[in-house]
Structure 1
Amino acid sequence: MRVCGIYFITPGYPDTPLPILASRLRTEVVDLTANHTLTQIFYNPYPPNSTNEAPANAKEAKYTFPLYESSAIRFFSAEIGSKFINGVIKPKQEAKAEYNAAKAAGKQAALLEQNTGEVFTTSVGNIRPGEFVSVVIKYVHELKQDIEVEGVRLVVPTIISPKYGHADFTNFGVGWDNGWNNMSTKLEKIAEGRLETKGLAIEVMATMNGSIRGVQSPSHPIAINIGSHDASGQGEFNPQMARAVLAIPTASTTGLEKDFTLIISSTDISMPRAFIAPHPDIPSKSTLLVTLVPRFELPQQRPEVVFVVDRSGSMTDKIATVRSALHLFLASLPVGVHFNIISFGSRHSSLWPKSKLYSAESFEAAKRHVDGMDANMGGTEMLAPCSQAVSSRLKGMNLEVLVLTDGDIWGAEVLFDFINKSTSTGDARFFSLGIGRSVSHLLVEGIGRAGKGYSQIVGAGDNMQKKIMRMLKSALTPHVNDWRIDWEGKEAIMSSFSQENTAEPTTHAPISLYDTSSNPDEAKPTESSLPARPPILQAPSIIPSLYSFTRTSVYFLLTECTAPKVIRLLGTAHDPNTNSIHPLALNIPVATITSSSSALGLYSLLGRKLLQDLEEDRCGYLPAHSPHKDAEGTDLGVTFGLASKWTSFVAVATDDGDDEMDIEPNVLTPQGSDDEDIELKIHFHSYNSPMAIHAGASMARAGGSSAGMQQTTHMLRATPQPPPPFESVRLQQQQQQQQQQQQQQQPPAGRTFQSLSGDTGPYASYAPPPPPPPPPPPSHQDALACLQREYPIQRRASRRYSAYQIAKLTGTSPNEVAVSASSSPSLKKKRKSSNPSYTSTIESTSTDDTPSGIITRLSRLQLFSGHFESSQALLDVIGVSENVIKEVGDWTKNGKETIWVSVVVVVWLRKLLAKYSEEWEMMADKAWNCAMSELGAEEVKKMEAEAEKVAEGSTRVFD
């Protein structure tokens, strides 16, 4: 499903997208944060006509784009024709009313709203025929730690996953996919001579705290320059700087087929750090950021582990990967845990009513259950299986729930609320593993955040095994429920605030219980103001649990407070196995940030975290479900200047020409246009452009634009281009039907059309004429004319194509047309095969000889005890012959063959797959511990020496 870009919405008609001619993303990575400027340029090819049909006279278009849920939108502007409109943040209802009034008055206007936590929609009013539209959005987000390298991962999302359930979405349909090649040349000719820049470009400029060791993109080919931001590569070399560019300079290629991923590795990126960033315009406020990737060891616990596995239909191309992951989980579980597996789709079922002790019997039963798993359980209903995991839990032990999913759900906040309550006592945690490129980050990260665990996304080509093993290790660590950050003077500040805001109640004169002058029907509620905010605000209000190799960041807003010099992170771990307490502590020095743009970026991220806490009822200074929640959300959104659940950007063109700008924009003017009345101006702003803020204070500093700003601006997923004329789709249908008729040696039969609502129309026996020969390629002169047709796009099943549109394209009477795109076998086939298969480093076949595949195969061969029995399958995996196993040493003759083979496997893993140790070490530990307990250290040491010889003779070779 593609839902990004601008498309006309007119009641009773299909949604119609505007073609996108250019898409630019300019990203400035500063250590752990990324500032983005997204610019997309669209064109309205639809001419006015006298039929009053959409989209020619549509009053409104929607601009929809995806962002990851941690992003904070801090600036929005648009240019419609010659009108530049600048967004101002306002309370949501106020902004919407202003936009509607402007639209009704015929003014060009735009309204940017948060649709969900990761989808924003902008309503654009009164786009006239023949006009160009440019949209500029600036947003900031915190980068994720890459679990495989010492670095950060930048991801630009390209698609929004289909939701299971009912909601307002747009499906641009198979027509666009089928006819895209025919449209490419037309778009090229539209852009030719009109735009200085066209196509797709992503530019990333990184400045890291440590030396940059590498920049790579596992998703796309890129140009890289390490040592400078200069495109020419000249200038003084700086090891802390790098530049990466992805450019496709054609107007027909303005979108990405998969997320753009960039990994930047640098020295010291994982070290614990703290920064204080004074606000450049509000001297009394400062942002404090504490961030670290902890590395510490605690003794393993023996909890109850429940795997909640998505087996909905969308998992078809991923279920083999999930089976492999579960086999690795099962083989790595330590003795003493209890476990269960719950599968879900539209319904759910569990392996056992309650978790069972990890034993040889339960281990084998679980392996058989996993082998029989298929993606055959319908849709995605996640609350019920998570509820069962909690309601059926065993008493007296901690619960660890690991959720594996590839999709999204509607009403995720209900699930988050349930998980919040289930983990509030501190004896349960939820972890989530998102699989595939269409998974909702809002859902996956929300589960980890609410569940006091953490989340991981596994994309195509990612090393899933390393991620799932680290997740299992984290689930086996003792619970720490009292993480806190302290510094000198903090407790005194908060204590003083508490005393000032907990004054004794005022006593009034007694109220008579029978007052003849009172009128209870007219009594009004007492007006109450928002509660005072503490001088130190923390977000998230509850410090997340800390896990090795997973980044944790905590923000503070300090108001009229002295900046700390050193902060102290404290916690206490309880080991239930030995009933012992382990105090945890770390001192982190605080560095000062002097860059205004970096300070404003951290301020915006702090605001986003505060709003997120409020949305999820975890606000530190308001109780859950507080009556002040909406008012506080509105005030926070306006104060920080961010689009949110309670606030929106509204932009309205003025009556006296273009809006005034506080800084000189860079302008791109179309070149050599035949239409002198069409002019395109694209305004690029630096991140310091002024914007309004609450209480009259400026939230951003004005600043000049850089010389290279014209080339940098930038992208997200493109709007689908208008599909080809419906005639070409109908021609394909006719040709396929004729081929089928000839194969069956039957005379031509009539065609059946259905309406999109699924009803059979009154003209169900429409027989098409023989197909004409294919039309010649469009000429340069008629390219624009071809674009300026109305192309039917598939909407929801409840929407019908405009009879006028179908009649215009097929040459029939409007009263004789009722059509459904789903009635064509060719379209059904195309739709069924449109999703690319999901690839992973884990394969389901028994012949996967990659390191990850070998480890997966070994996990299936390991016994519950930890031993490996000698078998041809095992010998094939490790590349050793049976004769070698028998000839080296004499353990095969004295009843110790199983232990001997197990030692051989462990030594083989250490020798040949040492760099993949995190994926197999829990399996190897089980095998080694069994050998040590049965034979003792001395004899195992002898076996180890002999096993070295066996491993050296292996035929397996790995890079």
Structure 2
Amino acid sequence: MENCCGLLTSKKEPVPLKSVEVELEVRDHVATVVSTLNYENKEDKPLEAVFVFPMPGDAAVCHFSATIGQTQIVAEVKEKQKAREEYDDALSSGQQAFLLEESDQSPDIFSLSVGSLPPGESASIRLEYVTELAVQADEGLRFVLPAVLNPRYHPQGSEGVQVTSVPASLVPYSLFFSARVSSPRPVSKVESNCPMDPLKYLNTEQSQAVVKLAAGHKFDKDVELLIYYKDAHQPTAVVEAGQTSAKPGTLMGDPVVMLSLYPEFPQAVMSSLASCGEFVFLLDRSGSMGVPLNNNEGSQTRIGSARDTLLLLLKSIPMGCYFNIYSFGSSYEHIFPNSVEYSEKTMEEALKKVEGMEDDLGGTEILEALKHIYSQACIPNQPRQLFVFTDGEVGNTKEVINLVKKNSGSHRCFSFGIGEGASSALINGLAKEGGGYAQFITGIDRMQPKVMQSLRFSLQPAVVDISVKWDLPKGVSVTVLSPPITTLFQGQRSLIYAQLTGQSPKTAEGSVTVKYSLAGHPSQNKLHFSLKPAEDSGLTVHRLAARTLIRSLEMVEEEEREGGEPDGVKKKKVVELSVQSGVSSAFTAFIAVNKSSGETIKGPLVRRNVPTLMMMGCPTPSTMWMSHSPAAGGFSGGVHLMQSAAFNISIDGLLMADGLEEDTDEYQMADDSEQEDMYDDPPEAKPELPRRDPLLQLVSLQRASGRWELDPAVAAALGKTSEEVENTQPSEVNKEVWATILALIWLHGFKMDAQEEWELLAMKAVSWLRAQNAPHVTQCVEAGNTLLGCKVQKDALGI
């Protein structure tokens, strides 16, 4: 290999990417991310590189520019096919050109083409996007910078590209990451799963702070930040002035308001959870679910954590409900032909099947499983709640989300993205269109508390008859840009974007009232706000509003296309809005051509393989599958440099134009089964399974009704012998009451830190105890405390 210098791949090939710099600015719950990718071509031939990278599915990409030498080229947004043709024409003319486009299959995958980088030349690519940060269960705001773009499984018959991954220690580029946080309220703390330098406050009010990633990031995990404010998540409104150069009456020319609403439901309604429902659990059993949840030694696999979670769910759903469990891979299975009534018999039968579930169903084809679920008739007076567990590695994201949206009237969908790199577009899209709630389980997160929070949401009465009423000064009209609110959950944020047209005094105020009905109780939340535009907000709110409207129009266009009505009106509107706002869409692309250089670039463009992070726990290199054909309108053949970091980019390979000098046999296509088989190669000898967690051990012994039985297994789970438990039992109390009270005392005495995991099943146990009307409960609690060494009060148990 010629000119082997600088950073090298494992094959001693030069790596053009030198470093990635990411600057994050968080204002309240809105994040602006600027990523700078620095490249240098140390070869004697020109390079063309295609980078494929993940990003938040609801992000608004609003800037793309390239600096080569002293020349900066700022990209424009144009219709996608026109941009591709302009890019190809520039390259064929020997000009430098840059193309940034969104995948046709999934809005959280982007492709960046850099063509071409002359010998000895350096280039910096700058990408900018804005996004809203999701609210977590503990009221933290979550930002994620992915370290890896997981393989997206495509059904048989679709094309893909095989590229190579390496262990994190061999990723040949560096990452610099810094974050600046500001809010009207003090920043209480910023946590991360990666080593960070200490948080530094910039003012005495502690409402502004900066934090940096510690040097030496190993690319072995996503960079995740959790940001906490004091008195967080109060309803707010931000009014942003229009762009002075834009025409009044247009989205960019008028002021736009962003409302953040946090509904508070009456306590009387919230204290009574539903006792009915049809719970359908859909579990991913593709090969990638065998990957560990994190890099810690002995970490549980994704499928193992999902099995434990299903155990908790099956113990926690109320008597009288119905349920079924589906699992999917290249095919799908179900435990029962139809949903069955929850009972001791059906619960035990389901648990036995769950214990045997492995990551052995091949690829990740969720669509057919969902179609079958939706083909099943709903059970009268049993609202359907769908729980989807997946690592999010699918290629037909939009098709899956559209199917959920079409069936949104018949159910609520709660989604869970498991592990690093789960598609945010898929997980968030399922919940948003299905009227449910999305959760991500990464790093050292335990899946169980997040899933149980969603179960509590599913047991809340559905909010109906939601309406939004605006009260604005005379002469000011409002155009709502967000889709109608269809779902409200206690304490969770709802966002509304609206365009304000007309003139009003700067001191004027407006208000918005959200009315709804909850379990037959009419309620409302009202928010007053000033129409005076906020200072120094730039065009962030406008861009987020434009992205929201673009996404809504794209969904309608997709539905019309699937319904055989491709009139293209919505597509035309999307293109106009995207070009006007400078925000990316499925039908547009950023294009930049360097027309200032008088010299044409000569010589064939060269391809180089650049390795990316190997997925955690994979015994063999992972495979990235994308397709992108300008002619077909998607990501096409060839091997791409998949870059991971700044835009969180996973680097995998470099695409070159004609005149390749390397042997292209290395990049032959593999079929989809080979892709997933990479995860399935079993180790020569399976390690001995660790002893089950004591909490899960005790939970596994609970009966469907909520009671525990007095047997040696329960005694062992409590850390006692059968003799100890039996000899201390009050004579007036039967064995089941005694065992159930002991279990409740143990949970309250030793597992309060995991209360959100066992709270619902403990409520079942308390209900069962009350129904027994057992005597001498106080004496029983005292004896239980003495036996277990606890000091739990009877009132704390709720009995």
TM-score by length of 2: 0.79
Note the alpha carbon deviations across 1:878-924, whole angstroms, 9 max, x for none.
3344455344451xx45611111211211222233224221111110
* 2:710 counterpart of 1:873: no
**Would the alpha carbon gap of residues 168 and 347 (structure 1) be closer, same or farther in structure 2, given more than 3 Å must change?**
closer
Query: Which of residues 275, 289, 295 in structure 2 aligns to 1:315?
Result: 289
The CA distance in 1 between the partners of 2:783 and 2:527, in whole Å, is 48
The CA distance in 2 between the partners of 1:794 and 1:108, in whole Å, is 20
Deviation at 1:932, TM superposition (A): 0.8
Deviation at 1:122, TM superposition (A): 2.1
Match of residue 761 from structure 2: 923
The CA distance in 1 between the partners of 2:531 and 2:724, in whole Å, is 63
Assess if the C-alpha contact under 8 Å between 1:114 and 1:645 holds in 2: yes
* 2:111 counterpart of 1:144: no
1:587 maps to amino acid: K
Match of residue 537 from structure 1: 480
Match of residue 211 from structure 1: 186
Assess if the C-alpha contact under 8 Å between 1:389 and 1:401 holds in 2: no
Deviation at 1:626, TM superposition (A): 5.9
**Would the alpha carbon gap of residues 819 and 428 (structure 1) be closer, same or farther in structure 2, given more than 3 Å must change?**
closer
**Worse-matched range after superposition: 375-384 or 321-330:** 375-384
* 2:164 counterpart of 1:173: yes
Secondary structure at 1:536 match in 2: strand
**Would the alpha carbon gap of residues 161 and 386 (structure 1) be closer, same or farther in structure 2, given more than 3 Å must change?**
same
The CA distance in 1 between the partners of 2:263 and 2:788, in whole Å, is 35
Deviation at 1:930, TM superposition (A): 0.5
Instruction: Trace 1:220-619 onto structure 2 (pairs within 5 A).
Output: 220-228=194-202, 236-248=203-215, 256-279=219-242, 281=244, 285-296=254-265, 297-298=269-270, 299-301=272-274, 302-317=276-291, 318-397=302-381, 398-424=383-409, 427-489=410-472, 535-539=478-482, 541-560=483-502, 565-574=510-519, 581-590=520-529, 594-617=533-556
The CA distance in 1 between the partners of 2:734 and 2:723, in whole Å, is 16
**Would the alpha carbon gap of residues 872 and 795 (structure 1) be closer, same or farther in structure 2, given more than 3 Å must change?**
farther
The CA distance in 1 between the partners of 2:234 and 2:780, in whole Å, is 40
Deviation at 1:244, TM superposition (A): 1.0
The CA distance in 2 between the partners of 1:925 and 1:473, in whole Å, is 12
* 2:580 counterpart of 1:639: yes
Secondary structure at 1:111 match in 2: strand
Deviation at 1:111, TM superposition (A): 1.6
Note the alpha carbon deviations across 1:193-242, whole angstroms, 9 max, x for none.
xxxxxx32100011122222211112x100022422xxxxxxx5331122
Secondary structure at 2:348 match in 1: helix
Work out which structure has the larger RCO, using CA pairs closer than 8 Å and 6 or more positions apart in sequence: 2
**Would the alpha carbon gap of residues 260 and 896 (structure 1) be closer, same or farther in structure 2, given more than 3 Å must change?**
same
Note the alpha carbon deviations across 1:707-763, whole angstroms, 9 max, x for none.
xxxxxxxxxxxx97479xxxxxxxxxxxxxxxxxxxxxxxxxxxxxxxxxxxxxxxx
Secondary structure at 1:452 match in 2: coil
Assess if the C-alpha contact under 8 Å between 1:404 and 1:432 holds in 2: yes
**Would the alpha carbon gap of residues 76 and 467 (structure 1) be closer, same or farther in structure 2, given more than 3 Å must change?**
same
Note the alpha carbon deviations across 1:404-440, whole angstroms, 9 max, x for none.
111322222222222112123xx41211111111321
Match of residue 44 from structure 1: 41
Instruction: Trace 1:900-939 onto structure 2 (pairs within 5 A).
Output: 900-935=738-773, 939=776
Match of residue 950 from structure 1: 787
The CA distance in 2 between the partners of 1:803 and 1:595, in whole Å, is 54
The CA distance in 2 between the partners of 1:491 and 1:627, in whole Å, is 37
The CA distance in 2 between the partners of 1:127 and 1:820, in whole Å, is 22
The CA distance in 2 between the partners of 1:112 and 1:549, in whole Å, is 38
2:107 maps to amino acid: G
Match of residue 847 from structure 1: 691
**Would the alpha carbon gap of residues 320 and 654 (structure 1) be closer, same or farther in structure 2, given more than 3 Å must change?**
same
Match of residue 733 from structure 1: none
Question: What runs of 5+ residues in structure 1 fail to find an aligned partner?
Answer: 1-6, 8-13, 48-55, 188-198, 229-235, 495-534, 575-580, 659-718, 724-792, 807-816, 837-842
Query: Which of residues 14, 24, 38 in structure 2 aligns to 1:27?
Result: 24
The CA distance in 2 between the partners of 1:418 and 1:491, in whole Å, is 42
Q: Percent identity?
A: 26
**Would the alpha carbon gap of residues 99 and 820 (structure 1) be closer, same or farther in structure 2, given more than 3 Å must change?**
closer
Q: Larger Cα Rg: Structure 1 or Structure 2?
A: 1
Match of residue 731 from structure 1: none
Match of residue 885 from structure 1: 725
Secondary structure at 1:484 match in 2: strand
The CA distance in 1 between the partners of 2:207 and 2:666, in whole Å, is 59
**Would the alpha carbon gap of residues 626 and 17 (structure 1) be closer, same or farther in structure 2, given more than 3 Å must change?**
farther
Assess if the C-alpha contact under 8 Å between 2:199 and 2:209 holds in 1: yes
Assess if the C-alpha contact under 8 Å between 1:611 and 1:637 holds in 2: yes
The CA distance in 1 between the partners of 2:667 and 2:544, in whole Å, is 46
Deviation at 1:139, TM superposition (A): 0.9
Deviation at 1:361, TM superposition (A): 0.9
The CA distance in 2 between the partners of 1:328 and 1:383, in whole Å, is 26
The CA distance in 2 between the partners of 1:118 and 1:880, in whole Å, is 52
The CA distance in 2 between the partners of 1:939 and 1:487, in whole Å, is 58
Assess if the C-alpha contact under 8 Å between 1:403 and 1:431 holds in 2: yes
Deviation at 1:170, TM superposition (A): 5.1
* 2:737 counterpart of 1:899: yes
Secondary structure at 1:947 match in 2: helix
Match of residue 297 from structure 2: none
**Would the alpha carbon gap of residues 431 and 833 (structure 1) be closer, same or farther in structure 2, given more than 3 Å must change?**
closer
Question: What runs of 5+ residues in structure 2 fail to find an aligned partner?
Answer: 1-6, 292-301, 600-607, 613-651, 793-799
TM-score by length of 1: 0.67
Note the alpha carbon deviations across 1:361-419, whole angstroms, 9 max, x for none.
11111111111111111111111111221212333132111111113222222222221
* 2:52 counterpart of 1:72: no
Assess if the C-alpha contact under 8 Å between 1:19 and 1:722 holds in 2: no
2:181 maps to amino acid: A
Assess if the C-alpha contact under 8 Å between 2:102 and 2:110 holds in 1: yes
2:784 maps to amino acid: A
The CA distance in 1 between the partners of 2:185 and 2:315, in whole Å, is 39
**Would the alpha carbon gap of residues 831 and 303 (structure 1) be closer, same or farther in structure 2, given more than 3 Å must change?**
closer
Secondary structure at 1:949 match in 2: helix
Secondary structure at 1:79 match in 2: strand
Assess if the C-alpha contact under 8 Å between 1:287 and 1:599 holds in 2: no
Assess if the C-alpha contact under 8 Å between 2:33 and 2:128 holds in 1: yes
The CA distance in 2 between the partners of 1:353 and 1:279, in whole Å, is 56
2:141 maps to amino acid: V
Match of residue 744 from structure 1: none
The CA distance in 2 between the partners of 1:289 and 1:338, in whole Å, is 40
Secondary structure at 1:68 match in 2: coil
Assess if the C-alpha contact under 8 Å between 2:509 and 2:531 holds in 1: no
Secondary structure at 2:336 match in 1: coil
Match of residue 156 from structure 1: 145
Query: Which of residues 582, 590, 595 in structure 2 aligns to 1:654?
Result: 595
The CA distance in 2 between the partners of 1:555 and 1:487, in whole Å, is 12
**Worse-matched range after superposition: 294-303 or 630-639:** 294-303
1:857 maps to amino acid: Q
The CA distance in 1 between the partners of 2:397 and 2:572, in whole Å, is 23
